[in-house]
Homo-oligomer: A and B are copies of this chain.
Amino acid sequence: MGRDRGERAIDLASLAPAFRPRSVAVIGASRDPAKIGGLPIAFMKASGFSGALYPVNPAGDEIQGLRSYRSVTEIPGAVDLAIVAVPAPAVLPALGDCRAKGVRAAVVFSAGFAEVDERGRALQAEMASLARESGMRILGPNCMGVVNFGTGLVANFHPAFKDGIGKAGRIGLVGQSGALSGLCFTMAADRGLAYSASASTGNEADVDAADCLAWLAEDPDTTVIQLYLEGCRDGRKLMAALDLARARKKPVICLKPGSTAEGAAAVASHTAALAGCDAVFDAVLRQMGAYRAHSLEEFFDIAAACAVGVVPRNDRLGLVTVSGGIGVLMADSAVRAGLEVSALPEHAQGKIRELVSFAATRNPVDITGHAVNVPTLTDKALAIVIEDGGYGSVILSIGAGGRNPVRAPQLLETCAALRRRFPETLLCLSCLHTADFRQKLAAIGCLCLEEPVHAVRAVAALAGFRRAFIAPAAVPAPPVFDPLPSGPMDEPTALAALSGAGIPVVPHRLVRTADEAVRVAAELGYPVALKVVAPEILHKTELGGVALRLASADAVRASFAEITARVAAAQPEATLRGCLVAPMIEGAVETILGIKNDPAFGPMVALGLGGTLVEALGDVALRAAPIGLDEARAMIKQLKGRRILDGIRGAPPADIGALADAIVRLSQFAAAHANEIASLDINPFAVLPRGGGAMALDALIERRF
């Protein structure tokens, strides 16, 4: 895994000087407040940064009204953080000075490193060594830096701050792209959202996004985290940071481009980041309880929903509307997002009918156009739905109500009263609105979004965080495994290894002659399968080395001769050890279990459905190993074709418990042998009808070299 490539583990104490410095030096400070070396000084003067601020510039002794120093080493007091805004060739000397001065952290704005050429890569490697050796933490190079909205630290040069950094909020932002982070400040302001702190990590010579994420997870001023990720070198470190955020019950919303091959190619050309396998990223975000957004709008909608601070107590959604069509739109998207649009209790439906005799009362509750005549009926219906429905979340869709000068104050009053009475229920208004109305709703803990379908999406995201925040079941400590036998692994060896890991395998025997094969077949029971065994031959089916459904001694005898001859002819140098005989297993659902070693995230366990689903649709669930039983069950539930396991066309339901257990054991095996196994395939892994168990019918292990 990543750690053995010299990455540094998360060390929060060492990051404090970057996020909460008491003193800041600006190396390359400029008199011109519009220049990259002038901007942070101007920003910090405007933001009222409370610590000491030391411009450093060889030319002068006063910059923007502050005493300036020719070198960082000349500064009298201690320096927690140095901002480095000098051309690339001058960066390492400047960092050398910082080291000499005992500076504890540096933010390097300068570009011209690994993102441009080989020489830049070498310089960046030197920078990484300097950080590692000195203990000084370095953000960047080629980064937009750090802002702490609470302390007024603006180690950042984005023009978005030219009118000030605004009031501090509760959202933390980590981004690998500075330009995007800059846009985020403006988009957040548009939505009345505010940040606690932000870090843009650029080329990540030392400090990476996972470090910053972990810092925000422990930052008491941050309750929600937006993470913009393009790639990741040390996947397990990212997982640790995500897990820390989950443990602190802080929702992480992640925007990660590169979900298609074309997109991933563009990322690779864009930064020095390794885009990595998107399916693995997606699996890890899911596994660690983060929410993955697919547009900027979604990135902010979900952050806004989280910033409200109410996590719904269940997955049930109540819908109140004045337009039946919108009610149905919301119900559609709620069901698709996995929420329960359960019926309002009968007595409450009666209360709604008392308000409006022809209202739809089940859920969605539709007060109809009658709301135009007596608008407050809607508010009464909302109260009934919240009070009697038992819904974790309720959405009121009310057309243009948030803009209506008469209705908006009524709605605010209604919502405020309901929030006081039912503080645990998430209340969301979907309507055209003014910024003022939305802000006032936010102040009382109500979410407000224009688009009803996006309101549902936000509720679904919060429901997902609730599930993630329920302490995840402990991952059982993996048993101790013997190392794998050395040398190439033929099928009996691979099956024995799996069996040793507690994964059931089909009864089988290695036979050397046709006579022996016939004897064993009779013992195991017809029909049987026959497969050649040779350590050099991994893909025996392709060579014609497999015969299936052999129903008689004659068939076994003939096939033994045939398949061994065929393989010997195709691959004369192979060491034929004989054939493996195993009974045919009928009436099972065929699944595929596997292990892949990801360059960033290490051993991943995979589950797919056999037959054509994996190839035709890529319908595979992945997790970073090891995992526990709950996560194994979540993998099964995640498959698009999961209905096959429930039993289709009159087939009995499959033994999902046995499948989940095998996934857990395989994940332990994967974790224990991470350094030995490049990949492993059990295809098929047969899952018998419930109560019948499950077993590997084949196994193929490729070693890691």
Residue numbers of A with Cβ under 8 A of B are 111, 115-116, 159-160, 176-180, 182-183, 186-187, 190, 228, 230, 255, 257-267, 269-271, 294-297, 322-329, 331-336, 341, 358, 360, 362, 364, 366, 368-369, 372, 399-400, 432, 450-454, 542, 609, 611-613, 615-617, 640-644, 648-650
Contacts and interface: CB of A to CB of B under 8 A. Distances in A.
Nearest to A179: B323
Contact of A179 (B115, B329, B369, B642): B369
A269 B326 CA distance: 13
A399 B178 CA distance: 12
Contact of A336 (B115, B260, B642, B643): B260
Contact of A271 (B111, B180, B296, B324): B324
Contacts of A297: 450-451, 453-454
Q: What are the 9 tightest A-B residue pairs by CB atom distance, in nearest-first order?
A: A270-B324, A257-B328, A263-B332, A295-B453, A179-B323, A616-B641, A260-B335, A615-B648, A177-B325
Contact of A331 (B179, B266, B616): B266
Contacts of A186: 399-400, 432
A549 to B, nearest CB: 10
A366 B262 contact: no
Nearest to A549: B549
Contact of A115 (B159, B326, B358, B643): B358
A655 to B, nearest CB: 18
Chain B CB within 10 Å, residue with most, of A183, A262, A336: A262
A586 to B, nearest CB: 14
A432 B188 CA distance: 12
A331 B268 CA distance: 13
Nearest to A453: B295
A267 B322 CA distance: 13
Given A186-B400, A187-B432, 13 more contacts: A159-B372, A177-B324, A179-B326, A182-B399, A183-B432, A230-B325, A255-B329, A257-B331, A263-B332, A267-B328, A295-B333, A542-B650, A615-B643
B269 A399 contact: no
A649 B611 CA distance: 11
Contact of A325 (B228, B324, B329, B399): B228
A697 B159 CA distance: 69
A334 B271 CA distance: 21
21 contacts: A116-B358, A177-B325, A179-B323, A183-B326, A187-B432, A190-B432, A258-B332, A261-B335, A262-B341, A294-B333, A295-B333, A296-B329, A297-B453, A611-B612, A612-B644, A613-B613, A613-B616, A613-B641, A615-B648, A616-B648, A617-B641
B295 A258 contact: no
Chain B CB within 10 Å, residue with most, of A261, A266, A450, A644: A266
A613 B644 CA distance: 9
Given A267-B328, A324-B271, A612 B615 contact: no
A187 B450 CA distance: 10
Contacts of A263: 328-329, 331-332, 335
A459 B328 CA distance: 27
Contacts of A432: 183, 186-187, 190
Contacts of A615: 643-644, 648-649
A387 B180 CA distance: 28
A120 to B, nearest CB: 10
A360 B323 contact: no
A259 B335 CA distance: 10
Contacts of A331: 257, 260, 262-263, 266
A649 to B, nearest CB: 6
A570 to B, nearest CB: 15
Nearest to A182: B399
Nearest to A269: B360
Given A297-B454, A617-B641, A325 B612 contact: no
A260 B422 CA distance: 30
Nearest to A271: B324
Contacts of A264: 328
Contact of A329 (B295, B332, B454, B640): B295
Given A295-B454, A648-B612, A328 B372 contact: no
A296 B453 contact: yes
A651 to B, nearest CB: 10
Contact of A296 (B295, B328, B451): B451
Contacts of A372: 159
Given A271-B324, A432-B186, A453-B295, A399 B179 contact: yes
Contacts of A366: 269-270
